[in-house]
Amino acid sequence: MTRTSITEVKCEKCKTVYEAEVIDHVDLSEDREIIKLLKTGKANRVQCSKCKKVMYLNRSIVVNFDPESCIVLFDPKARTNAQKEALKEDYHNVITFNEILQEVGEETEFTVLSNLGKFKDLLDAYMKAHS
């Protein structure tokens, strides 16, 4: 299931602040169309309500590679190992408080990626294995 949320975006052209729907979580087994967008780093496209300027947001997305037991958090901003470790810790904290998630979490490999090239390789491999 694709989960979205509403976030505030500031237009880089006219500086208008507006609200836009962004993708937080994608399940690849249910949404193949999004793979193309993820591969180009353009999954989160927003458009300014005033001047119509289109921007692609540089924010994190959780991708479930179901049926493979692999969850990838793609965050282009998580450049350092310390940032990646912090994100992993957040993930483990979340699943520890939820019994269902805990069960899933024990069997699932959780990876934090910031490199679009590596992320693209994983998506290509997934496409090959499950097309």
* Number of residues engaging Zn ion in binding (CB under 5 A): 8
Closer to Zn ion at the Cβ: 9 or 73?
9
Q: How far is the CB of 49 from Zn ion (least distance, A)?
A: 8
Q: Between residues 51 and 125, which has the closer beta carbon with respect to Zn ion?
A: 51
Task: Pick out residues in 19-78 that bind Zn ion (CB under 5 A).
Answer: 48, 50-51, 53
Phi, psi of 7 (to 5 degrees): -135, 160
The least distance separating Zn ion from the CB of residue 8, rounded to whole angstroms, comes to 13
SS3 content of the chain, % helix, strand, coil (to 5): 35, 30, 35
Instruction: Candidates 10, 14, 30, 94: give the one binding Zn ion (CB under 5 A).
Output: 14
Dihedral of the CA atoms 94, 96, 98, 102 (nearest 10)? 110
d(CA 126, CA 131) in angstroms, rounded, equals 8
Q: Which of 3, 14, 20 is nearest to 56 (CA)?
A: 20
Which one of the spans 14-22, 56-64, 90-98, 105-113 is the region binding Zn ion (CB under 5 A)? 14-22
**Footprint of Zn ion on this chain (CB under 5 A)?**
11, 13-14, 16, 48, 50-51, 53
